A and B are shown apart, each in its own frame.
Chain A
Amino acid sequence: TQLLEQSPQFLSIQEGENLTVYCNSSSVFSSLQWYRQEPGEGPVLLVTVVTGGEVKKLKRLTFQFGDARKDSSLHITAAQPGDTGLYLCAGSYNFNKFYFGSGTKLNVKP
C-alpha cells in the first residue's frame, strides 16, 4: 500500500530554475517531514510541518502542508547544483513511526 506518493520521481533542471515536488496521500497525518538523502547516506531532516496550511521557509526552500494534512509540497527557488539529491517526504500519525515516500531524485545541472 502506497501511503505517500511523491511526484515527479525524477527531475532534471538547469541551475537557476524553480521547481516544485509533491507528496500526496489519502491519509491524514499528524505531521510530515521532508528529508534530503545523498547516495549511501542517511536522510537529513529539512523541515517538519504539523499544522494544516502551514508554510515554512528555509532559505530558497518553501514547504507547505495541505489544509487537510494529507499532502505537502516543496518549492525550490533558483535551484543550484548543490541542491542535487533525493528528496523524501515522511508522514507520521504519532511521531513514533514514519511512513516514507519513494522520493524525488533531483538533478540540477550547472
Chain B
Amino acid sequence: EPEVTQTPSHQVTQMGQEVILRCVPISNHLYFYWYRQILGQKVEFLVSFYNNEISEKSEIFDDQFSVERPDGSNFTLKIRSTKLEDSAMYFCASSYTENTEAFFGQGTRLTVV
C-alpha cells in the first residue's frame, strides 16, 4: 500500500543550526502538508503546498521555516535557525486533490539541544 515516508526518523541538532526534514509523498498525490506535534500537545498545521507554491500557512510558519519540492518526489521542510521550542514531531502528509483526505507519514522527531 502506498505510504508517505519521512527521513530521518530522529534528528538531534544544536540550537541555531539549520535542519532539513525530508518527505516522499504518495506518488500520485498533488497536495502536500507539514504538521507538527510538540510532546503532549495537539497536532498543529504548519503549511500546505500545491503546484510548487504555498497555498496556506499558519502563524507558526514564520520566516525561519521554508518548504520546497526540489524534484518530482521529495518535499522538504527547512528550519533555518532552530530554537529549543522547535523540538517536536514533524509530520508530512499528502493528498490526491484538495477534496480528499490526507495521509500522514511516520514523522521525524526533532530534538533541539
Contact = CB atoms under 8 A, between A and B. Distances in A.
B51 interface: no
Nearest to A98: B45
A42 B45 contact: no
Interface residues on B, range: 20 to 34
Chain A interface extent, by class: 20 to 34
A95 B98 contact: yes
Given A43-B43, A100-B42, A48 B48 contact: no
Contacts of B95: 95
A96 B98 contact: yes
Contacts of A41: 106-107
Interface of B: 4, 6, 31, 33, 35, 41-45, 48, 55-56, 58, 89, 91, 95, 97-107, 109
Contact of A40 (B31, B41, B44, B107): B107
Contact of B100 (A95, A98, A102): A95
Contacts of B45: 97-99
